[in-house]
Amino acid sequence: MKITVEEDRCVGAGQCVLAAAEVFDQREEDGIVVLLDANPSDELAARLRDAAARCPAMAITVAE
């Protein structure tokens, strides 16, 4: 599984962090997404798809 984020599209809503805090975080200064693990385990697949779906800016891509 491969996760990519487009930081320039992120609006700092934090929905990704709520869905999968093991994989996503936010920068302190502006709330923009920080990808902690670009290749997470397949066990997180459902939560990562949920994080991508929740993102209001559609800044997260999940490739399986």
Architecture of domain 2-63: 2-Layer Sandwich (3.30)
Q: What is the pLDDT of residues 50-61, one digit of tens each?
A: 999 999 999 999
Domain ranges of the chain: 2-63
- What burial letters (b/e) apply to 26-55, b meaning 16+ CB within 10 Å? beeeeebbbeeeeebeeebeebbbbbbeeb
Give the model's pLDDT for residue 64.
85
Which residues in the chain land under pLDDT 70? Answer: none
